[in-house]
Amino acid sequence: MRARKAVHLYRFFHAGEPAGEGRLEVFPGREGVKATFQAELLLPLPRTKVRLSTETDLEGFSRYFSERVEGREARVFTVERLEEEGLVMVSQGKESLAYPYLAPYHDALSLLLALPHLDLLPGEVARFALPGGRAYVERLPDLEAEGRPLRQYRLRPGLTLVQVEGDRVVRVAQQVGDHVFEALWEGEEEPRRRRRWV
């Protein structure tokens, strides 16, 4: 998977109302990509902090994924690919479950990172394995917004629309109950150099 170092800024809307802000940091490396998505969501209530992290292999499939959500309560969910043991380890809180590693899979964040690099024509559908399930990605007809060409994808299960411009996701819209939750790309920030302590 081709990726470049970047920090993307997003604004969130719930039923058309401002609902928070977030940032996606992407750092390509020799063994794959490390990415972290952090957001503070004001709507729907209660106020919630979300942190998703993924580490991918060179093909963009998930090697490690973690999700931390802090709202009324805190919960942590992790998925780790243990290739030498031939297992996938899934943990939530104090409980863990291992199942056989049969094929490469995506997590929620690695799938979004892969969309700009998918080679699908409008109308084509790709199926991707997820921990404990699968996702279908359908390429929709392209769209032009403010003179910029956008590629569109529909993700299932559930109903999520993703719009991509170049190598970045610029809009995600998902039906949540009776309302639409949206993430809109606001711009890019210069990546900060990581400090290494000796």
pLDDT of 193: 62
Question: In sequence order, what are the beta bridge partners of 88?
Answer: 81, 99
Q: What's the token pair of residue 15?
A: 């039923």
Sign of the torsion angle spanned by Cα atoms 107, 110, 112, 117: negative
pLDDT of 112: 95
pLDDT of 52: 96
**Domain residue ranges in the chain:** 6-189
Rounded distance between C-alpha atoms, residue 46 and residue 70, angstroms: 10
pLDDT of 196: 52
Question: In sequence order, what are the beta bridge partners of 39?
Answer: 22, 50
* Residue ranges in the chain modelled with pLDDT below 70: 1-2, 192-198
Tell me: the pLDDT tens digits for 106-162? 999 999 999 999 999 999 999 999 988 999 999 999 999 888 899 999 999 888 999
pLDDT of 2: 66
Residues in the chain: 198
Q: Are 109 and 54 in contact (CB under 8 A)?
A: yes
pTM for this predicted structure: 0.89
